[in-house]
Structure 1
Amino acid sequence: MQTQASKATFTNYLLFWSGQLVSLLGSSIASFVIIWWITLETGSPAYLAMASLVGFAPMIILTPFAGVFVDRWNRKRLIGVVDFLQALATILIIFLFSWNIVSIWHVFAVLGLRGVFQAFHAPAVAAIVPLMVPQDKLSRMNGVNFLLSGLVNVLGPIIAATLLELWRINQILWIDAATFVVAVIPLLLITIPSVRKREEETQYRQSFKEEFGEGLAFIKRARGFLTLIILATALNFLLTPLSTQIPYFVKFDHLGEASDWALISVSVQGGTIAGGLLMTLTKGFKKKTVAIMLSVYVIFLGYAIIAITPTGQFWFMAIGGLTLAVCLPIANVSIQTITQTVVPREMLGRVNSVMGALASAASPLGMILSGIIVEVIRTANLFLACAISGIVVLTISWFFTDIKYVGENGSNAEETE
């Protein structure tokens, strides 16, 4: 049974999406202040790596299994419950800060809880997009999403850095809790289409193992998909030191302050906005695989620019961040559009989850190693080595694998008829 996106479902999606953007702003503010607190409190790259790991590892472990449940359960109810639980986790850490009994381990525990909730939230939100957005609007909508998400993430660090001069951390974190509540209101007002087949249309209810296996089987069967995931795994591993150690790089290698880190964060999100705007205005690129590869080349060029930044020259670092971030939406929107077009809609939850988990599988190792390596060598040397390695891996994959054929598998509408 196929559910066609319509003008009505698209309107509902825009309402839902507006609430999610508000929630994203709160999360962006909270993430900035918590990571900066860890940076100042510990002064250790290993603790920063651990913070990333405890938040990320639950998503790696649970997301493939969560995707199956996303395809089985009521997605509206699931998103609402997870948003509520994330708000509770934030309120817990607020009280710990308020009572002056917070420790680094309390923060890690809450980050881990939020990682668990995100393992269910992210695939649920991703799976409803092609159900509610007409296919001819998918690429542009994905671009708009990156555009406005980038704008929200520009505002987040600016607001957070400003509020850190005026408020205590526990007061700032109330913004995050409040935005989770705001996100639930549009969710209550809309209807999210279901893709589960009615009982009389199904000979038997598939087991969890069978449904999970279907997601893996599709990835293996669709030409170039598995290669794309393996490449993404390698590249994410190489990019992980940058996302994990950039606060340490700014504070201790370049003697920066919260405002300097905010500048770098804003430049990155500004690049994301520019890339999202490009994808929105162009409706994406016809040769999506070529667009993915070229954009990732530029991403690693920006990585290298950050690595060679002269001490204290944050404008130079910002240029690298801007260069890197402009191409992130091009690569991600192209991958999203290929997936949303090719994967059968009733399998989107589990396929998205399996793809996401496999693509991120090496990131926890990257987090751990980056914390250890930065204790031994300069952060800049690690960044530069990763940038050069990324360019080499990308070149080898283009010339010696079938990645150039990814997406040549028809449409999900055709596959599920």
Structure 2
Amino acid sequence: MDLQQSQTTFKHYLLFLSGQFTSMLGSSVAQFVIVWWITLETKSAVYLSITSFAAFTPLVVLIPFTGVFADRWNRKILIGVTDFLQALIALILIVLFWFNVISIWTLIVLIAIRSVFQAFQVPVVSTLIPLMVPSDKLSRINGLNFLLSGIVGFIGPVTAAMMLEIWTICEILWLDVVTFLIAIIPLTIIKIPTVKTETSWEKASFTRDFIEGLTFIKHTKGFMAVLMTAMMINFLAMPLDVLLPYYIRFTHQGEASELAFVMAASQVGMLLGGVLMSVIRGFKRKILTAMHFLYVFFAMYALIALSPKGFFWLIASAMFTSHLCLPIINVSFITVVQTIVPKHLYGRVSSVMMTLCNLASPVGMIISGPLAVFTGIVNLFLGCSMLGALCLTLSVMFTDIRYVEEMNIANY
């Protein structure tokens, strides 16, 4: 791909990103109102755990296989079809809420089905960045992606909380459908380049492609250490992610507006972190930088746990600081991977990495609720923050995680 092609595909990627931003906004609003409805209707940390488990597990299970599709099938068609099917799920939810026949288990099943469609879309979208963005713009584009996520995360909860004051949930869910349809427009305009793989469709099996990605990871110095550390960190971070609505509502007696305030503060932090990573060229020692900011994240986790009742400003401040770190952590890791992994293997390697990184997350989700009931949610948050700091220390001291950036891919 020459310079002119790179600049053209880069512009096309930015156009595609604008559509995805619109779709993400609608999904953010819908997610907030659905989670808040579950919190109020069930008054149960366990149901929140089950819902999160249903939303996330299909991604973990299917992405190793759908990542192969990302390398081999028409990317534009895959994205368009999965967008349409997710909009269809939103329409079904609207009908069920409209006729007041929705149940918690029906909602959980529909959330799981929507997650299946997302499992086909996520690896495809991730392959577009190294495929359409010049290498010298990778760090900034990755930062821009987290910047947009921060904007969506800030606007979405605030908008949802305001809408809940005047609209019903089924009326709010129409926004999700409309934004999905809007996202299709730039997708029909752009051209997504193809990359010829080393083996033909007829001769290569999905299993072989998955093994290729796994083999690359196993033989790349430091990659496995990164993944094992990420698995433990993801597991320990799950209680805060899953049980925040319950924590705000029942531990601190907050309402939807307080939850929106805390979530918005976290996303402002994400936003500023994304701005930082979009305007700088990245850090020289990316892995060690990520580890340092992870320590800050877990310190804020502990502060959230220890916040006095009703001190929403303190919780929001800690969420702001912790999420300020996330774009720095994620962009550092992602840029290292995109730099090291060959483009013809990226879909396979990224899907395997995503699976291994997220493997512990469903376990953390499903046991968060029961653990909160057994230990108390404050003790659960505090214990996870302390274990997280300990895991980071052990990984730096006893693994080769610091050397992953020195990998030479000449033989791949």
Under TM normalisation by the shorter chain, which class is it?
over 0.9
Is 1:187 equivalent to 2:187 in the alignment? yes
Matches within 5 A, 1:248-287: 248-287=246-285
With 305-314 and 275-284 compared, the bigger mean Cα shift is at 275-284
**Alignment-derived partner of residue 172 in structure 1:** 172
- The secondary structure found in structure 2 opposite 1:376 is helix
Which digits, 9 at most, give the CA deviation of each residue in 1:315-338, with x for residues without a partner?
Answer: 000011011100100011011111
Please report how far the alpha carbon of residue 196 of structure 1 lies from its aligned counterpart in structure 2 after TM superposition: 2.5
Please report how far the alpha carbon of residue 385 of structure 1 lies from its aligned counterpart in structure 2 after TM superposition: 0.3
Counterpart pick for 2:210 among 209, 212, 227: 212
Which digits, 9 at most, give the CA deviation of each residue in 1:44-63, with x for residues without a partner?
Answer: 00000000000111011111
Runs of 4+ in 1 over 4 A off after TM superposition: 2-5
Q: 5+ unaligned residues in a row in structure 1: which ranges?
A: none
Verify the 8 A CA contact 2:239 2:368 in the aligned structure 1: yes
Is 1:326 equivalent to 2:324 in the alignment? yes
Distance 1:246 1:153 in 2: 15
Matched AA of 1:27: S
Is 1:337 equivalent to 2:335 in the alignment? yes
Q: Normalised by the size of structure 2, how large is the TM-score?
A: 0.97
Distance 2:201 2:255 in 1: 62
With 22-31 and 339-348 compared, the bigger mean Cα shift is at 339-348
Matched AA of 2:133: V
Verify the 8 A CA contact 2:23 2:182 in the aligned structure 1: yes
**Alignment-derived partner of residue 136 in structure 2:** 136
Verify the 8 A CA contact 1:58 1:112 in the aligned structure 2: yes
Please report how far the alpha carbon of residue 410 of structure 1 lies from its aligned counterpart in structure 2 after TM superposition: 4.1
**Alignment-derived partner of residue 226 in structure 1:** 224
Question: Residues 310 and 64 (structure 1 numbering): CA distance in 2 closer, same or farther, change over 3 Å?
Answer: same
- The secondary structure found in structure 2 opposite 1:375 is helix
Matches within 5 A, 1:82-97: 82-97=82-97
Question: Residues 280 and 203 (structure 1 numbering): CA distance in 2 closer, same or farther, change over 3 Å?
Answer: closer
Distance 1:376 1:401 in 2: 34
**Alignment-derived partner of residue 55 in structure 2:** 55
Distance 1:62 1:187 in 2: 24
**Alignment-derived partner of residue 288 in structure 1:** 286
Question: Residues 385 and 197 (structure 1 numbering): CA distance in 2 closer, same or farther, change over 3 Å?
Answer: closer
**Alignment-derived partner of residue 17 in structure 1:** 17
Is 1:118 equivalent to 2:118 in the alignment? yes
Distance 1:93 1:276 in 2: 33
Which digits, 9 at most, give the CA deviation of each residue in 1:289-333, with x for residues without a partner?
Answer: 111101111111111111111001000000110111001000110
Verify the 8 A CA contact 1:228 1:403 in the aligned structure 2: yes
Verify the 8 A CA contact 1:140 1:280 in the aligned structure 2: yes
Matches within 5 A, 1:387-398: 387-398=385-396
- The secondary structure found in structure 2 opposite 1:311 is coil
Counterpart pick for 1:369 among 367, 370, 373: 367
Please report how far the alpha carbon of residue 415 of structure 1 lies from its aligned counterpart in structure 2 after TM superposition: 6.2
Report the identity percentage. Answer: 49
Distance 2:270 2:18 in 1: 18
Please report how far the alpha carbon of residue 209 of structure 1 lies from its aligned counterpart in structure 2 after TM superposition: 1.4
Please report how far the alpha carbon of residue 203 of structure 1 lies from its aligned counterpart in structure 2 after TM superposition: 11
Matched AA of 1:38: I
Which digits, 9 at most, give the CA deviation of each residue in 1:198-220, with x for residues without a partner?
Answer: 98xx5973111111100000110
**Alignment-derived partner of residue 79 in structure 2:** 79
Distance 2:341 2:202 in 1: 22
Please report how far the alpha carbon of residue 353 of structure 1 lies from its aligned counterpart in structure 2 after TM superposition: 1.0
- The secondary structure found in structure 2 opposite 1:26 is helix
Distance 2:357 2:2 in 1: 29
Matched AA of 1:146: F
**Alignment-derived partner of residue 347 in structure 1:** 345
Root-mean-square deviation (Å)? 1.5
**Alignment-derived partner of residue 68 in structure 1:** 68
Verify the 8 A CA contact 1:304 1:383 in the aligned structure 2: yes
Q: Normalised by the size of structure 1, how large is the TM-score?
A: 0.96
Verify the 8 A CA contact 2:19 2:182 in the aligned structure 1: yes
With 364-373 and 236-245 compared, the bigger mean Cα shift is at 364-373
- The secondary structure found in structure 2 opposite 1:374 is helix
Is 1:358 equivalent to 2:356 in the alignment? yes
With 66-75 and 14-23 compared, the bigger mean Cα shift is at 66-75
**Alignment-derived partner of residue 310 in structure 1:** 308
**Alignment-derived partner of residue 376 in structure 2:** 378
Verify the 8 A CA contact 1:3 1:131 in the aligned structure 2: no
Distance 1:319 1:136 in 2: 34
Matched AA of 2:381: F
Question: Residues 203 and 110 (structure 1 numbering): CA distance in 2 closer, same or farther, change over 3 Å?
Answer: closer
Number of aligned positions between the proteins: 411
Distance 1:54 1:340 in 2: 29
Verify the 8 A CA contact 1:56 1:364 in the aligned structure 2: yes
